């Protein structure tokens, strides 16, 4: 019973990341307006939580064919606001047909097909660009908020 997401044991990734985003926002605001001594520490923790909240949904993958659900070509064909609903409603993996339990039979059936898995959209290069861009934006916010008032 349940959905592919529940059977695969990965639903916690989609229920956890919004809380992490709120935590990142609170730490970011505190880092900008709180005591200067805690500024860097708050911003680093904020960045860490923001990055984790970004990665968690992208770490939902099929244990059989390694399809990264949230960033798969099928998910990217949908509007952004429909992706979570699509993912939460999946009964089977759209690529290999596994029901989320990743049984030996599912793995054997996938291997027998001889298909190659869809490459992950979020390659290391793309992830590094996200890290660099996010850090640059956070630094720019710091410079803007901490500038002397003239
Ligand atoms: Zn699959």
Q: Is 14 helix (H, G, I), strand (E, B) or coil?
A: helix
Rounded to the nearest integer, the mean pLDDT of the chain is: 89
Interatomic CA distance for residues 114 and 123, integer angstroms: 23
User: 40: which 2 tokens?
Assistant: 């860097």
CA 147 to centroid of ligand 1, rounded, Å? 51
The fraction of the chain above a pLDDT of 70, given in percent, is 97
Interatomic CA distance for residues 42 and 35, integer angstroms: 10
CA 1 to centroid of ligand 1, rounded, Å? 18
Interatomic CA distance for residues 136 and 131, integer angstroms: 9
pLDDT band at residue 18, thresholds of 50, 70 and 90? Answer: very high
Tell me the per-residue pLDDT of 119-143, one tens digit each, with 9 for 90 and over.
888 888 998 998 899 889 888 877 7
CA 100 to centroid of ligand 1, rounded, Å? 8
Q: What is the rounded average pLDDT of the residues 51-77?
A: 93
Rounded to the nearest angstrom, the gap between the alpha carbon of residue 7 and the centroid of all alpha carbons in its chain is 19
CA 96 to centroid of ligand 1, rounded, Å? 4
Helix (H) or strand (E) holding 7: helix 4-7
The fraction of the chain above a pLDDT of 90, given in percent, is 57
pLDDT (0 to 100) of residue 93: 95
Interatomic CA distance for residues 57 and 80, integer angstroms: 13
pLDDT band at residue 19, thresholds of 50, 70 and 90? Answer: very high
CA 73 to centroid of ligand 1, rounded, Å? 13
pLDDT (0 to 100) of residue 146: 67
pLDDT band at residue 53, thresholds of 50, 70 and 90? Answer: very high
Residue 117 has pLDDT above 90, yes or no: no
- Please state the domain extents for the chain: 4-146
Q: Is 22 helix (H, G, I), strand (E, B) or coil?
A: helix
CA 48 to centroid of ligand 1, rounded, Å? 30
pLDDT (0 to 100) of residue 148: 62
pLDDT band at residue 150, thresholds of 50, 70 and 90? Answer: low
């Amino acid at each position: 019973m349940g959905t592919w997401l529940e059977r695969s044991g990965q639903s916690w990734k989609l229920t956890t990341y919004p809380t992490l985003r709120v935590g990142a926002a609170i730490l970011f605001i505190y880092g900008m307006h709180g005591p200067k001594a805690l500024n860097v520490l708050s911003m680093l923790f904020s960045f860490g939580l923001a990055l984790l909240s970004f990665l968690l949904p992208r770490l939902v993958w099929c244990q059989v064919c390694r399809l990264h659900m949230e960033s798969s070509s099928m998910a990217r064909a949908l509007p952004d606001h429909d992706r979570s609903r699509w993912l939460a409603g999946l009964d089977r993996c759209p690529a290999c047909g596994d029901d989320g339990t990743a049984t030996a039979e599912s793995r054997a059936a996938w291997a027998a097909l001889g298909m190659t898995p869809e490459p992950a959209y979020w390659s290391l290069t793309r992830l590094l660009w996200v890290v660099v861009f996010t850090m640059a934006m956070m630094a720019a916010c710091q410079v803007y908020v901490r500038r002397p008032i003239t």
